[in-house]
Structure 1
């Protein structure tokens, strides 16, 4: 199982390298050659020491110079080979990183819209961007180091036993201790620990993005990071976890570091013992010098291997996290071949119930409702009553748990999501304009629209005056040179986008909620034009905006409790009548001057 997991990780990495993947074998070969050649300067230095040690002042100067030049030349060759190896691995890693991000975003595009309501931009950035960076580091640096480190370690061990098997055996003792500690650090709990670390880091990064977005509010109310509870809690959780993890690793890491760098502590006493029991002091001393020269290089290679193994596990976890976020199981399933979108746009809910993942109770329970084609249905109710959930299920933000939603008699699950989206327009409270030209923002409604269609959409959306006052008109880029639009102006541009799309089904979420009085009037006029002849589901917060709706649906705790026109519901002594009276009282509320008493 473990072997299959490793193979799948490497196969996935190789598949995302594209044509640049052919560079990795060359990078690995150059790394192996470079590391082997990197050992030669140590041998050259030892040969110089041996000449001086055995021949003293009579040692040949030419021979010493030849060895010195050899050490210098092979060092330069090692640097060149290693540099070339890293260049090749980086080229492959950059392509891999780019392809991973592109692939993840391509999959994200096909996720249901509900996926983006539960995954913040901060979390998505961390999962896709940062994890791709972790994988890049592993491929660019640690894969070449893996091959070179193994080659040098094996070669060095062989040399240690060739020069003096007794000193070589002594070198194995700290090596065994180091590997034992390494096994303890990287044991069966490491995967869970790394998963917890990355989860904690993702949570902190996600909250950091939300905190940055909320800085204006924080500054207005003179608050600090401590008042932004979720961000502060995520920082403290990460801090607590890192401290606990560091404390648990401190002992093992200390023993490992001492052992991997402590060869000399055993070699010197053993060499002295060998000399005293009758060994050739000159040969033993020369061998000891060789071991003193080569063991730091050997220890460095072992340390590299440790980081490579750690990097591999991190890369494997990063791959899993990217795949988990864009898991195809989360995508909406559609039978093949899908049913074509019907030409009739009435909407029907048949005993629909829905529960969010991880929730303990249903957000919607046994919804029965019919919306005839061309009519407007307004959803009213307190926050959390299920209005938004009901509207979003029509567009398959999620699929229903029980029951069926149909358009023109066809189950929406039978219709391809892209085809369904072509026939539904959204106008929500929180408008989203991209930092590109006004023209491009409007064209998102219909990329193939003709200039005349764009002009018509602009007129219908009441935003001609907005565009005329911009320096470059339709080609003005939002966010450049201090050019920004107010909330109401953005909403009107969004309406132009909806006019251009001209979809037969319209989902509205109180489009005038954040508009000033002037913009509200313009938006209301545009909305009346946009709603004409369409099947409309309106989520209402201002009850005055729903009085003309064909049907008003009153919701409470995920259920429909009242249904009818404004006049019908007003005559009842029900929830709608109570909400209407409370709303009228809030509208009439004003600030009055009070008398001060001494």
Structure 2
């Protein structure tokens, strides 16, 4: 029995980890009680459970952001599931588990583990000693060089019920950052080595069992029929019954394991694909049609079918081949060499056709890509097609793309039929030829045992011929799958957004923005979109940006969102270079409303909350009130539960825009960017939004990009852009006096106010 002072020490760990229920209630996430909702949380306000998670994350070199924690459960303390999801969103591997004491003793050199205590506190498991039957705990508030407390099972059970969170760095070869290649897929399959090992053992056993029926047939022919041995027949019947029963059960178990492995590979593959898709920069989606992207990603399903279908079945057939080939040579060497020679000829024929088939199949892929691009473009722009009556033109384009794809597939199919034509007679020789030659050999066999051997050889050769041909055809299938991997990789292996979830600084954003000598050019253009731009936006001010089309207004908004980071010069938020800021943290502090906003299929409440865990209907109502959207929401048939279909057909443009503003305000952003947000509004909706601007801007920096100068008159400062350069920065009244471009834009938009005489009266229409 280990003599360690425990009562005081265990409870000291528990108390230091979470002193009382009121302290732990803060742990439910200061992010839920700061600036409502989701304001910044100071570290000293973070509760013990979040502190423990932060300590373990730092141990693994990852900085989690307390601002991003959202409790989905109604528990007064952060649950293990909420903590795990928070860590996963931060770029870590995390699991909420319930473990026993015996499991804790295994965590000896695994890094710290977060233990959740029953009083709402938490502690760090830093080590264990199975020999002494103790574990070592440390408080989340303890210094890094502080000593751990030794605890045994009895005393730990007084404060701990088994809840824990396992954390580690998610970076490994099979990770979200690994390129999509055949090697990555091989590594993905290798991770399923244990169930695949079981499948291999089962397949080897089944292969051994497949030898028995031919041998039994040979024995029946050579022994039972020649010598009329009933006792041998009964013995063979009993063996056959046992073998069939065992083979049935083992085959069923193998199929179950294969289904599980296939489902797991399928899940991992699809999760990886969607994760990579979300991390692609916006530039990619702006330069590539949606249909083209969807077609390339659809190739992943062919890869999945190859991995879980043809490849796995051929692998299992190879095991059968390794068992049956020696037996086949044992029965008759001559016939066995005939089978192997036929298989070699088939392989040579297919290898000879691979390169020209690859070229023709690439033409099929190109034609199908353009066909999918035309389909996707038509579906996305169906409103424009209907409004302009473009159905004939789109149908003509579709007919042309279908014809091109059909010609490419026809050419590929005609060429691909040649190897099949040449292989077919060889396959027939492999089966029927060996039977005829074997019959000739049996007729010349004086011992009489060749007849039974011929029956056995024919049964085994049929089992061997199929894997041999399948192995050869696997090479042909691999060529198509290799092309599919290339198509999917053309999307998935694009450069990702420059900051992963776990990298970059996470400063507290106050809203101060500084552009200093910044120059930026879009890809493929020589003229810079922004040319040595410099200006300063103090925190908490309303700042307008105006200029003619193409002057660089929206480019400034894009750079602030981190969409483009390949600029020269400096862009700083609160004195920190934007390139060094964690991308998720940056966008969490921003609210963005565009000219054309997309609403997801779902209720109005779901669209405002936008899936952010921990936010409720009251948060949605508060944001809708700020955006001036509550008045029309309450008139809807089901209020905030009114369902929005794809394309938002039951909402007007102004209603959609106000919902988008409410969605941008739901997490109370430090900086709100309105990029031409009111340009598509009707006068009534624009008046409602404009009336709420001052209330929306309270306590945050608001940047309004607009070509309507009337919506910028209340701004503290207005930036005037012209051909990517800064012309002037001042208030509305000062710009009217000293900036000719601003004065000209103002005159053009308000000339109706100065037109005293009015335009000549139009001739009234008459009915003829």
TM-score, normalised via structure 1 length: 0.78
* CA positional deviation for 1:68: 7.4
> Residue 60 and residue 273 in structure 1: after superposition, are their counterparts in 2 closer, same or farther (change >3 A)?
closer
> Residue 457 and residue 216 in structure 1: after superposition, are their counterparts in 2 closer, same or farther (change >3 A)?
closer
Question: Given that residues 546 and 720 in structure 2 are in contact (C-alpha distance below 8 angstroms), is that contact kept between their aligned partners in structure 1?
Answer: yes
User: Which of the numbers 579, 598, 601 marks the counterpart of 1:432?
Assistant: 598
Cα separation, 2, equivalents of 1:73 and 1:37: 11
The SS at the match of 1:161 is helix
* CA positional deviation for 1:244: 3.9
State the partner residue of 1:465. 631
Structure 2: unaligned runs, 5 residues or longer: 1-180
Question: Given that residues 673 and 704 in structure 2 are in contact (C-alpha distance below 8 angstroms), is that contact kept between their aligned partners in structure 1?
Answer: yes
> Residue 460 and residue 275 in structure 1: after superposition, are their counterparts in 2 closer, same or farther (change >3 A)?
closer
Within a 5 Å distance, the mapping from 1:39-118 to structure 2 comes to 39-45=211-217, 55=226, 74=243, 78-114=247-283, 116-118=285-287
Within a 5 Å distance, the mapping from 1:147-186 to structure 2 comes to 147-186=315-354
The SS at the match of 2:534 is strand
* CA positional deviation for 1:409: 3.5
* CA positional deviation for 1:452: 5.5
The SS at the match of 1:418 is helix
Cα separation, 2, equivalents of 1:219 and 1:489: 23
State the partner residue of 1:251. 418
Within a 5 Å distance, the mapping from 1:171-570 to structure 2 comes to 171-186=339-354, 190=358, 204-205=371-372, 207-219=374-386, 223-224=390-391, 227=394, 235=402, 238-264=405-431, 266-267=433-434, 270-271=437-438, 280=446, 287-306=453-472, 308-309=474-475, 325=491, 329-333=495-499, 338=505, 340-341=507-508, 343=510, 345-356=512-523, 359-362=524-527, 364-373=529-538, 374-382=541-549, 386-444=552-610, 453-479=619-645, 484-527=650-693, 529-531=695-697, 534-542=700-708, 545-546=711-712, 550-556=717-723
* CA positional deviation for 1:413: 0.7
Cα separation, 1, equivalents of 2:495 and 2:381: 33
> Residue 73 and residue 555 in structure 1: after superposition, are their counterparts in 2 closer, same or farther (change >3 A)?
farther
* CA positional deviation for 1:540: 3.0
Cα separation, 1, equivalents of 2:315 and 2:701: 64
The SS at the match of 1:23 is helix
The SS at the match of 2:591 is strand
> Residue 576 and residue 320 in structure 1: after superposition, are their counterparts in 2 closer, same or farther (change >3 A)?
same
* CA positional deviation for 1:370: 0.9
Cα separation, 2, equivalents of 1:576 and 1:49: 104
* CA positional deviation for 1:439: 2.8
Cα separation, 2, equivalents of 1:260 and 1:379: 75
State the partner residue of 1:9. 185
Question: Given that residues 174 and 260 in structure 1 are in contact (C-alpha distance below 8 angstroms), is that contact kept between their aligned partners in structure 2?
Answer: yes
> Residue 165 and residue 576 in structure 1: after superposition, are their counterparts in 2 closer, same or farther (change >3 A)?
same
Cα separation, 2, equivalents of 1:123 and 1:23: 37
* CA positional deviation for 1:180: 0.8
* CA positional deviation for 1:352: 1.3
* CA positional deviation for 1:215: 3.8
Which structure has more relative contact order (CA 8 Å, sep 6+)? It is 1
> Residue 349 and residue 245 in structure 1: after superposition, are their counterparts in 2 closer, same or farther (change >3 A)?
farther
> Residue 231 and residue 408 in structure 1: after superposition, are their counterparts in 2 closer, same or farther (change >3 A)?
farther
The SS at the match of 2:201 is helix
Question: Given that residues 424 and 505 in structure 1 are in contact (C-alpha distance below 8 angstroms), is that contact kept between their aligned partners in structure 2?
Answer: yes
The SS at the match of 2:602 is coil
* CA positional deviation for 1:274: 5.2
* CA positional deviation for 1:517: 4.2
Question: Given that residues 101 and 129 in structure 1 are in contact (C-alpha distance below 8 angstroms), is that contact kept between their aligned partners in structure 2?
Answer: no
* CA positional deviation for 1:395: 1.1
> Residue 306 and residue 465 in structure 1: after superposition, are their counterparts in 2 closer, same or farther (change >3 A)?
farther
Question: Given that residues 222 and 451 in structure 2 are in contact (C-alpha distance below 8 angstroms), is that contact kept between their aligned partners in structure 1?
Answer: no
Question: Given that residues 380 and 539 in structure 1 are in contact (C-alpha distance below 8 angstroms), is that contact kept between their aligned partners in structure 2?
Answer: no
> Residue 238 and residue 218 in structure 1: after superposition, are their counterparts in 2 closer, same or farther (change >3 A)?
same
User: Which of the numbers 29, 33, 48 marks the counterpart of 2:201?
Assistant: 29
TM-score, normalised via structure 2 length: 0.62
| CA deviation profile, 1:430-450 (whole Å, cap 9, x unmatched) | 223333333333234975557
* CA positional deviation for 1:177: 0.8
> Residue 189 and residue 40 in structure 1: after superposition, are their counterparts in 2 closer, same or farther (change >3 A)?
same
Number of residue pairs matched? Answer: 579
State the partner residue of 2:7. none
> Residue 194 and residue 86 in structure 1: after superposition, are their counterparts in 2 closer, same or farther (change >3 A)?
farther
The SS at the match of 1:348 is strand
Question: Given that residues 636 and 642 in structure 2 are in contact (C-alpha distance below 8 angstroms), is that contact kept between their aligned partners in structure 1?
Answer: yes
* CA positional deviation for 1:136: 3.9
Cα separation, 2, equivalents of 1:100 and 1:140: 11
Cα separation, 2, equivalents of 1:27 and 1:175: 26
Cα separation, 1, equivalents of 2:374 and 2:240: 54
Question: Given that residues 44 and 67 in structure 1 are in contact (C-alpha distance below 8 angstroms), is that contact kept between their aligned partners in structure 2?
Answer: yes
Q: Which has the higher helix share?
A: 1
* CA positional deviation for 1:525: 2.9
> Residue 483 and residue 352 in structure 1: after superposition, are their counterparts in 2 closer, same or farther (change >3 A)?
closer
Structure 1: unaligned runs, 5 residues or longer: none
* CA positional deviation for 1:421: 1.5
Cα separation, 1, equivalents of 2:536 and 2:685: 30
* CA positional deviation for 1:412: 0.8
The SS at the match of 1:508 is strand
* CA positional deviation for 1:263: 1.4
Question: Given that residues 591 and 671 in structure 2 are in contact (C-alpha distance below 8 angstroms), is that contact kept between their aligned partners in structure 1?
Answer: yes
The SS at the match of 2:644 is coil
The SS at the match of 1:366 is strand
Cα separation, 2, equivalents of 1:97 and 1:173: 37
Question: Given that residues 388 and 539 in structure 1 are in contact (C-alpha distance below 8 angstroms), is that contact kept between their aligned partners in structure 2?
Answer: yes
> Residue 71 and residue 217 in structure 1: after superposition, are their counterparts in 2 closer, same or farther (change >3 A)?
farther
Cα separation, 2, equivalents of 1:507 and 1:405: 16
| CA deviation profile, 1:124-172 (whole Å, cap 9, x unmatched) | 65556651x3454344334542333113323343333323322222223
